[in-house]
């Protein structure tokens, strides 16, 4: 038989060859797919979320310092400046608006890549229902409350339940949640997550830069956060506040300064700014000239002969030269809030013959409070004890309010040694202070509240967010507002910051809804718990 070759058109021949090739590949692709996988690729099932947790913790104390220092600290008159609306530092001194510093905390928290809330949300998502990350999951839930309670206290209503869900749920315009609902959820999260921490599970010692995986300390931290949030509601919902305070105490709160929650910088020389304490960087490097100790704060401490004062302040007649540091008590003085370089020479506190001119006023003692590898305090034993003192005065808890008060003052003074060993205050000095200024008692509750919360104000120096929140909540100390031209409040005390300028554009529907619910987007609108 003669075989005949059948020639097909080129297109058909190519199609038959390609189809045959596919059949051939399908018959022998065992292992081909695996061969083409990158063995070094990081996928969700192989990635350890503990790596994100470390950065999330660190970024909670880094990147928002311009909001804390420029607004919260001068709002509570810890700090003062001569700068006005046209100069970019410490705008809270005069209640003037600066876009960058007003928005820094919000932007840093919600940054799509490095934001603390985004990183912690990723940890929660990636560790949920995975036994090997049991404690990490609950630690991240607790840490989330640290991030969001500060944010909502500064701005009010904000994206919470739908925040950071662009990747997971394709929510790109999250709704703003009412602060009341945010607080309710944060408290329930603290209750559940803190109770479930288990020292028999993996501890994540190296990933946790706050407590090194110490579950006992984490539990005390979680319940101390519950105490803080519970006390925040003391005026807006006293019954709920009392209930949460009691739960916190039953769980077990901080027992000493070794429980203090803080994050430290790691680069003491400032070679890499990103690894330094951000607040210290501003106070000792980038913004060392403008910021001074406010007269209100200085005079309170001086009038009480407070042993902390000599470690807190120093005059730098040339702030760019550390050699001009002077700690002589005779030359220390606070700068009045609300002055500028034109009005300063007319103020009685100004000495035209003093060296340093405007720098004749005390600044922060950088060797104690502005070390580049120093701690940034987030929650302390002193605060806890002073909150317990107030709760006892209110009759919410058993115990001696006077003893809680003494514990709080002692803890606040002992805490300075955690900033620097040179600031260790002797027990004799602490006892002398408490003898000279004993607890006023509970017969006059308002006097007791004023004394307790004035000490809270001193104890939260450079923890601006907490100090500002507690001044608004308690009403103490009674600060005299400033009325500088072009200020945002008409000379009344500010109660929040504005939302970022791009929110009405990028998230208009939800922004408008929250403004309609909460009130005008300005510094005068009060947040939910801030009641007169």
Query: Is residue 276 within 8 Å of 373, Cβ to Cβ?
Result: yes
Query: What's the confidence (pLDDT) of residue 337?
Result: 97
| DSSP class per residue in 165-208 | -HHHH--SSPPEEPHHHHHHHHHHHHHHHHHH--TTS---TTT-
- Six-digit token string for 365: 């003692």
Tokens 């506190």 belong to which residue? 349
If we measure between CA atoms, which residue out of 65, 432, 88 comes closest to residue 281? 65
If we measure between CA atoms, which residue out of 212, 216, 196, 193 comes closest to residue 204? 212
Q: Number of C-alpha atoms within 13 angstroms, CB side, residue 151? A: 31
Distance in Å from the first CA to the final CA of the chain: 109
Domain boundaries, the chain: 49-270+373-518
Query: What's the confidence (pLDDT) of residue 288?
Result: 75
Burial code (b: 16+ CB inside 10 Å, e: under 16) for 301-316 equals bbebebbbbbbbbbbb
Taking each helix axis as running N to C, give the angle between helix 401-414 and helix 427-436, from 0 to 180 degrees, rounded to the nearest 10. Answer: 140
Note the pLDDT tens digit of each residue in 370-389: 999 999 999 999 999 999 99
Interacting residues of 226 by C-beta distance below 8 A, sequence separation 6+: 187, 190, 191, 194, 244, 247, 248, 251
Do the strands 325-326 and 158-159 form a parallel or antiparallel pair, or are they unpaired? unpaired
Give the angle 385-390-391 at the CA atoms, nearest 5°: 90
CA 102 to chain centre: 14
Note the pLDDT tens digit of each residue in 346-361: 999 999 999 999 999 9
- Six-digit token string for 22: 């596919």
**Along the 532 residues of the chain, how does pLDDT read in single tens digits?**
333 333 444 443 333 333 444 334 444 455 545 555 545 444 555 679 999 999 999 999 999 999 999 999 999 999 999 987 666 689 999 999 999 999 999 999 999 899 999 999 999 999 999 999 999 999 999 999 999 999 999 999 999 999 999 889 999 999 999 999 999 999 999 999 999 999 999 999 999 999 999 999 999 999 999 999 999 999 999 999 999 999 999 999 999 999 999 999 999 999 999 999 999 999 999 887 779 999 999 999 999 999 999 999 999 999 999 999 999 999 999 999 999 999 999 999 999 999 999 999 999 999 999 999 999 999 999 999 999 999 999 999 999 999 999 999 999 999 999 999 999 999 999 999 999 999 999 999 999 999 999 999 999 999 999 999 999 999 999 999 999 998 999 999 999 999 999 999 999 999 999 999 999 999 999 999 999 7
Taking each helix axis as running N to C, give the angle between helix 215-232 and helix 134-155, from 0 to 180 degrees, rounded to the nearest 10. Answer: 30
Task: Name the CATH topology of 49-270+373-518.
Answer: 1.25.40
Query: What's the confidence (pLDDT) of residue 425?
Result: 98
Query: What's the confidence (pLDDT) of residue 46?
Result: 62
**DSSP letter, residue 494:** P
| DSSP class per residue in 341-407 | TTTGGGSTT--TTSTTGGGGS-EE-HHHH--TT-EEEEE-HHHHHHHHHHHHHTTSS-S-HHHHHHH
Burial code (b: 16+ CB inside 10 Å, e: under 16) for 426-439 equals eeeebeebbeeeeb
Tokens 């081909």 belong to which residue? 32
Burial code (b: 16+ CB inside 10 Å, e: under 16) for 453-476 equals bbbbbbbbbbbbbbbbbbbbbbbb
């Amino acid at each position: 038989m003669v075989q005949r070759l059948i020639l097909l058109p080129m297109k058909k021949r190519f199609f038959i060859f390609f189809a045959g090739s596919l059949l051939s590949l399908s018959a022998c692709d065992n292992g081909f797919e695996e061969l083409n996988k990158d063995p070094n690729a990081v996928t969700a099932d192989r990635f350890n979320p503990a790596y994100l947790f470390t950065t999330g913790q660190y970024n909670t104390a880094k990147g928002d310092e311009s909001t804390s220092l420029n607004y919260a600290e001068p709002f509570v008159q810890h700090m003062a400046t001569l700068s006005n609306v046209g100069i970019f530092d410490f705008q809270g001194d005069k209640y003037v608006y600066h876009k960058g510093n007003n928005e820094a905390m919000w932007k840093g928290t919600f940054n799509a890549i490095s934001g603390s809330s985004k990183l912690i949300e990723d940890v929660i998502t990636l560790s949920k229902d995975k036994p090997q990350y049991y404690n990490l999951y609950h630690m991240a839930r607790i840490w989330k409350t640290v991030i969001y309670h500060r944010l909502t206290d500064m701005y009010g209503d904000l994206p919470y339940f739908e925040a950071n869900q662009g990747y997971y749920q394709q929510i790109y315009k999250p709704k703003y949640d009412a602060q009341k609902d945010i607080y309710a959820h944060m408290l329930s999260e603290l209750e559940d997550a803190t109770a479930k921490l288990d020292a028999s599970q993996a501890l994540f010692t190296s990933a946790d830069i706050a407590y090194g995986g110490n579950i006992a300390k984490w539990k005390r931290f979680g319940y101390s956060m519950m105490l803080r949030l519970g006390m925040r509601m003391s005026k807006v919902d006293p019954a709920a506040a009392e209930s949460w305070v009691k739960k916190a105490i039953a769980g077990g709160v901080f027992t000493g300064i070794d429980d203090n929650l803080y994050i430290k910088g790691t680069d003491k020389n400032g070679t890499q700014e990103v690894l330094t304490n951000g607040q210290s960087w501003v106070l000792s490097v980038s913004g060392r000239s403008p910021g001074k100790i406010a007269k209100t704060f200085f005079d309170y401490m001086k009038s009480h002969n407070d042993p902390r004062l000599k470690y807190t302040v120093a005059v730098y007649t040339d702030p760019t030269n550390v050699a001009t540091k002077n700690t002589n008590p005779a030359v220390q003085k606070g700068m009045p809030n609300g002055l500028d370089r034109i009005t300063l020479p007319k103020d009685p506190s100004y000495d035209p013959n003093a060296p340093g001119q405007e720098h004749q006023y005390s600044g922060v003692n950088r060797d104690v409070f502005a070390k580049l590898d120093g701690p940034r305090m987030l929650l302390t034993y002193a605060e806890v004890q002073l909150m317990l003192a107030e709760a006892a005065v209110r009759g919410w808890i058993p115990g001696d309010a006077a003893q809680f008060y003494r514990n709080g003052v002692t803890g606040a003074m002992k805490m300075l040694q955690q900033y620097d060993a040179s600031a260790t205050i002797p027990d004799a000095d602490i006892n002398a202070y408490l003898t000279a200024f004993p607890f006023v008692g509970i017969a006059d509750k308002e006097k007791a509240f004023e004394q307790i919360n004035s000490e809270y104000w001193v104890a939260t120096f450079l923890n601006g967010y907490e100090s500002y929140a507690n001044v608004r909540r308690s009403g103490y100390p009674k600060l005299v507002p400033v009325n500088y031209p072009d200020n945002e409040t008409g000379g009344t005390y500010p109660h929040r910051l504005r939302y970022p300028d791009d929110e009405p554009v990028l998230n208009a529907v939800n922004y408008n809804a929250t403004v309609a619910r909460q009130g005008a987007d300005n510094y005068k609108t009060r947040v939910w718990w801030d009641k007169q």
